[in-house]
Chain A
Amino acid sequence: MTIKAAGNPLEFSEIEAEFGAQSPRSLGAYRHSQTVNGLTFNGIDTGIPSGSNDEIKFSDFYGKSLNIVVDCFSNPSTDEFRVNAKSKYINNDIVIINPTTVSKKQNGAKITIRVNKKFGSNKNSVNHCALRTGTWSNPAALIVDLGSNAKVYGAGGNGGEGADGVGANNVGENGDKGGDGSSGLGIQHQGTVINFRSGAIIRRGYGGGGGGGGGRETSKVDRRAGGGGGGGGAGFPIGLGGVGGKPQGGTNKEAAKGSGGSNATETTGGTGGNGGDNQDQAFGGKGGDGGQNGKLAEPGDNSSIENQTNKEPPDNYSSVAGARGINGAAIRKTSNSISFSFGINNGTAEGSTTAIGVA
């Protein structure tokens, strides 16, 4: 628990209760400076002298707390996915700012989640974050400190599958919706402070393109064509291109498959695949391109059928194309009752920083 505020006499045992017993048992033993992954703590807590010749006194300790750094920086060449920083704390992936070995604690401690490597999310939900704070039990402060090599990325949504032509009764076999992108940083603790340092990047994942609609033309024979697959959305992991649709009936169906969409890269959406072409009579719709910064994912196109107007009953049809996937967010918070602030805001955020819902 944080040492009490000024106003009442402070006992040495209260300092030991917060910062652990030192050897020798002297106030001077708490003069301490420590650097963790380039982040320097000048003092066992802010304002407590750190130099070996600095004057140190009881009053320096009023309102001070144990500092603990959660390790989201080790093994920088190994990317991590869907990380809960609180789980790292529980697993003792931590550094305690102290001259000796002391026990960790949440209550009253200043917790710094130091991030300085690459984190990715998954494709299951826009709420899924690459890195989330987790929920904490009454720390004095929770700080997310993103260093110059921090990259916290949402995943790109996969492209939707192209329609498998048009169904037997001229309904169904529609193009699939593109997958949604997911999100970067999730804030689950009220009052979190984000130190967003120059070079750090928090980026949303982008939606995948929708699958193209299928086509059918029945003037002489039953010709059907598959829709193209949607392109993958940019993100980490990347969105994969959707497969092209394959007609489930009619003539020449093997040759009339739609093309698959292209995979995305981390920053560029993939292109949608072209629709199939059944003997220049039935055409599948193109899959939509995947999303990227400045460009929403596209829905799939409907079939560009050979239009013969005023024909009753009509002999050409299009199934429904898939909708585009939606983008994730750069930063999300659990609910409106959670607020956070920026201590430093020099990094690059791509996407919303006010989205609600963290998982």
Chain B
Amino acid sequence: MKAIFKIEEYLPKTTQIVVRFARLHAPEPIEKYHAVAVDYSRLDCYDSESFVKSLMREVGNYQVKKYEDKESIINESETISGKLDLSSLVGRTIECKVENDRKEILKMRRVEL
């Protein structure tokens, strides 16, 4: 997921910036998302790259995830578990996770040591 941020105010006297965050693919303009005040003296301001990374690590990641969780769900869905019956899934909307890593579920028999 990619994110965007927009600095609304720069307040050097109090070492603060007022920033808005959103997902790059957010359904609303970034101005629709709440701004937050951030103390930039706690961020890594060595260069642009380090600033962006620390801003996202300290504040942005949480804000973006929070908005994503709050956005309205258009598609009603359900979860499934246990024995698979593909025919029973036809026409149903199933909830699942998007994962980037190569972790997989390895089902195995229980081994008593």
Contacts and interface: CB of A to CB of B under 8 A. Distances in A.
A2 interface: no
B66 to A, nearest CB: 9
B34 A262 contact: no
Interface string A110-145: 000000000000000000000000000000000000
A264 B18 CA distance: 9
B52 interface: no
A259 B42 contact: yes
Interface of B is mostly: strand
A268 B35 contact: yes
B59 interface: yes
A263 B16 CA distance: 8
A30 B64 CA distance: 67
A232 B39 CA distance: 11
A262 B18 contact: no
Contacts of B16: 262-263, 265
B71 to A, nearest CB: 15
Contacts of A231: 36-37
Interface string B13-43: 0101010000000000000001111110010
A213 interface: no
A234 B16 CA distance: 13
A289 interface: yes
Contacts of B58: 259, 271, 274
Contacts, number: 51
B45 interface: no
Interface string B52-78: 000000110011000000000000000
Nearest to A241: B39
A238 to B, nearest CB: 8
Contacts of B34: 292, 294-295
Interface string A267-282: 0111100100000000
A229 to B, nearest CB: 11
B61 to A, nearest CB: 10
A223 interface: no
B29 to A, nearest CB: 15
A269 B42 CA distance: 17
A295 B33 CA distance: 10
Interface of A: 231-232, 234, 241, 259, 262-265, 268-271, 274, 286, 289-290, 292, 294-295
Given A264-B37, A271-B37, 15 more contacts: A231-B37, A259-B42, A262-B36, A262-B37, A262-B38, A263-B14, A263-B16, A265-B9, A268-B9, A268-B18, A268-B35, A269-B36, A271-B36, A271-B58, A294-B34
